[in-house]
Structure 1
């Protein structure tokens, strides 16, 4: 019973609020119909471009065009949708004529950018190394939206062509730029290598004897020279000892042999004469007085001969000592410098000995005169050997000095080699680095040349049009059926909402139970509402108000469409065409 009462109350509300339910719903549905009719159709033409991978494996030939496909697509999009190019396309096809004059060119260009749609087609790819999957672009769609289907297809095909051409031009330009850059770098490196080679040749010419590769040869030469110097010094020592020995032998000999006078008698030597005079002086002194003229004459003769023999002995002794001192000076000078105390002392002693020899030589004219020359063959032979030995000593000493000069030269080379080696290593390092860079750049240039051939033969990654844009047969939007369905749902909702709100806001009493609940008194009887003629007139007036209002709204809407949008005859023709195409 309660359920039947609720249904009866609900039906009474619908009957009582039928106009509040129907009129708002009709208005909303009418607005939806107008929207579906007024909205201009937008056609969309789409082309699909496949991104084909490089045909030849990258392990064999690597392309110089690197980077992600997304980045390259964005770069191509920026070039294709540049302001100048879009303005050229707008003027070429006469696009957006309804916007020209009302909006600045920048907004029209921006509108065209919004109408050009590039959507990538992704796929999941497994990475063999990491085992993870990653998304990659295998293709993309390029669409253009507009009001004229034929024009939309033409513009879409133009953009597809621009994308293909720009991708091709971009790849060829990158490949050519890379090749030209590497070729320029190779030329610079070649010039740098020539400069370094020139510096190296000049450096070698300047330091020909100090190069590091000659270090071992210089050390070996120094060892050989050291051995030769030691051999020469030993030879000099041996010759000096021989000279000393010969001089000792010479000191035991008389320079003159037994001389004979014209009558055949042998002439005595000074020492024999000294001994004879001593014997005669002793004999005369024994028989004669010291003041005897013969004794005095013999004594003078004896003293003269004795002085002569003494000077001879002193000179021989000084010559031997002088030779010994000079030999010792030669040996010491090889070990010490001229400023060494021992060297200075020996030089002073030799100078004093020479002065004494000179003084004795002035007193003894026998050794300097031409009247007394060595005649003893043994004496002369020893003198000759001594002279020859002295010459050998001087010759050997000169050879030794030359060897020492060479040794010092090679020693200087060895000492200066490390410093020269540092500069030489810098040149060698620069040359090696330049050579390595040259070889690396050459390899890159060859790879760039192969990549250029790859691009020219169209074997590299490329864009292939697999689905060209065509003339759309129906508009992409608006979806008029969906608009009508949504309008219907909104109309029902709006009618129910408006009617429910009217019922909720109405404080009138329509049922006996409501009156009993309000008054707190029981209802004895229910008298139906008796309509008077005045009530019926008022009700009729309300109906006419609703009818006139609705008609006025419809007339205002139709007039707005006719004057603000498009004439009604044209709209009617378009409605027929669109419904025939869209549904």
Structure 2
């Protein structure tokens, strides 16, 4: 009984001295973006609700922010250690996520966070209410600030990256332009044109060869005609015709020109014709004074006509030779260009791949930069994914803990059990002999008689004094408990009287 009373006294004191704890909580709803992601793809990190919640929670639960809360509302003024203060306040602040099951099938487990319940626990109801509102206000502001900052940083980064890729793209474009300018005549797109030109030049060279042969045949015919005509008109009277020497010189010069077209100057035929021309040039030429007066006008006209044809044929041969040389040079140039096309195409393909890759990167980053800019504008206008205050924290009318009725009931039950256990333990450990059964078991013999314990007057007086003292103590304890309960429920809570307010 003594143990029960002692335990109940201790439990009663502890229960009634426990500080009250009040709780105030509010609800934040997470709304989807006003503009669908199918229309505008925002930055990927801004779409994850859980990451957004973790970011704002980290900011609110930072030591610096918790320390400012403590200083502003005087929560724990005696707590100077920021680390311990942060741990205490972290226990007082609670976050509970509200999820929605979006699974299409029973075996899937896809849950989306649609809300957040923010609570704060403290011993003073007014302070609890104010701090809960402050925390929710910080959460909402930090969410907008973090998303705006993230979108701005993303836009700035992508803009810088876009400028860098633009410079790389322009550099590759310049390389391609310089390369095409360097090998302008050997580009792959000109191959068909070069092949067609090559065939045309070869055909033209063949035509010039045939024309050259025809002209040579014509010259031989004219030479024969010239010789025949000259011989038909040459008789004794005409031996001194002043045109004979000139005609022989012209004929030798024509043959020399034809030979120079066909042979080099060191060729024996060319050398012989040069000596013949030199002898004819040194031979005396008949003049009007020493030449016979008699002339044959028909011969002169015929030979002059043939000579004109020979000179025209020689000029045509020279022109054909010049054209053939020029076309041969063009043919060689085209062949070199055509042979060079595969190598040029390989180098150009490499540059084109670099250009395509640079352009693809530029277009991709440009698209992301545009989306990031739109996401930034949405964040500034608060049109993206946002936190909305669904339910403001309410002033706590009832304490959250301790639940004294439950604690007292548990205390009574526990005290009874502990009292019985303690009494049983004392009985088991007490070495004194109590009753005839114990004596019989010790001496292993039957008792002849039992003499009862005779209390003396002194023992009886002491026993009455103990009972009286215990009764008075119990009465005093009951009165004190009743007074404490009356003061607690009708005057002021005991925790505010016995414990200094924080």
Q: 1:448 to 1:37 in 2, by over 3 A?
A: same
Match of 2:244 in 1: none
Q: For residues 485 and 328 of structure 2, what CA distance do their matches in structure 1 show?
A: 122
Q: For residues 203 and 384 of structure 1, what CA distance do their matches in structure 2 show?
A: 55
Aligned residue for 2:67, secondary structure, equals helix
Q: Quick check: 2:18–2:495 contact (8 Å CA) kept in 1?
A: no
Q: For residues 272 and 251 of structure 2, what CA distance do their matches in structure 1 show?
A: 11
Q: For residues 403 and 324 of structure 1, what CA distance do their matches in structure 2 show?
A: 21
Q: For residues 427 and 334 of structure 2, what CA distance do their matches in structure 1 show?
A: 126
1:51 aligns with 2:27: no
Q: Quick check: 2:256–2:273 contact (8 Å CA) kept in 1?
A: no
Q: Quick check: 2:94–2:119 contact (8 Å CA) kept in 1?
A: yes
- TM-aligned CA deviation for residue 119 of structure 1: 2.0
Q: How does 1:211-222 map to 2 (within 5 A)?
A: 211-222=187-198
Q: Quick check: 1:125–1:134 contact (8 Å CA) kept in 2?
A: yes
Q: Provide Cα deviations, 1:197-232, integer angstroms capped at 9, x if missing partner.
A: 455445544444343333322222222222212211
Q: Quick check: 1:69–1:137 contact (8 Å CA) kept in 2?
A: yes
1:240 aligns with 2:155: no
Match of 1:482 in 2: 406
1:498 aligns with 2:422: yes
Match of 1:11 in 2: none
Aligned mate of 1:68, from 48, 55, 60: 48
Q: How does 1:488-567 map to 2 (within 5 A)?
A: 488-536=412-460, 539=463
Q: Provide Cα deviations, 1:30-81, integer angstroms capped at 9, x if missing partner.
A: 1111111122112221111122223443222333253532222121111122
Q: For residues 173 and 362 of structure 2, what CA distance do their matches in structure 1 show?
A: 14
Q: For residues 156 and 360 of structure 1, what CA distance do their matches in structure 2 show?
A: 128
- TM normalised by structure 1 equals 0.70
- TM-aligned CA deviation for residue 501 of structure 1: 0.9
Q: For residues 392 and 168 of structure 1, what CA distance do their matches in structure 2 show?
A: 92
Q: Provide Cα deviations, 1:298-328, integer angstroms capped at 9, x if missing partner.
A: xxxxxxxxxxxxxxx9x99999998997676
Unaligned 5+ residue runs, structure 1?
1-21, 261-265, 271-312, 330-345, 559-568
1:370 aligns with 2:294: no
Match of 2:11 in 1: 32
Aligned residue for 2:447, secondary structure, equals coil
RMSD of aligned residue pairs (Cα, Å) = 4.1
Q: For residues 540 and 144 of structure 1, what CA distance do their matches in structure 2 show?
A: 56
Match of 1:437 in 2: 361
Match of 2:130 in 1: 154
Aligned residue for 2:102, secondary structure, equals strand
Q: For residues 357 and 347 of structure 1, what CA distance do their matches in structure 2 show?
A: 10
1:387 aligns with 2:363: no
Q: Quick check: 2:253–2:277 contact (8 Å CA) kept in 1?
A: no
Unaligned 5+ residue runs, structure 2?
242-247, 497-502
Q: How does 1:410-421 map to 2 (within 5 A)?
A: 410-421=334-345
Q: Which of the two has higher C-alpha Rg? A: 1
Aligned residue for 2:401, secondary structure, equals coil
Q: Provide Cα deviations, 1:225-256, integer angstroms capped at 9, x if missing partner.
A: 22212211221122123223333444555458
Q: For residues 189 and 353 of structure 2, what CA distance do their matches in structure 1 show?
A: 15
- TM-aligned CA deviation for residue 519 of structure 1: 2.2
Q: Quick check: 1:246–1:386 contact (8 Å CA) kept in 2?
A: yes
Q: Quick check: 1:218–1:410 contact (8 Å CA) kept in 2?
A: yes
Q: 1:366 to 1:433 in 2, by over 3 A?
A: closer
Match of 1:23 in 2: 2
- TM normalised by structure 2 equals 0.80
Match of 1:19 in 2: none
Aligned residue for 2:101, secondary structure, equals strand
Match of 1:118 in 2: 95
Q: 1:361 to 1:153 in 2, by over 3 A?
A: closer
Aligned mate of 2:61, from 65, 81, 98: 81
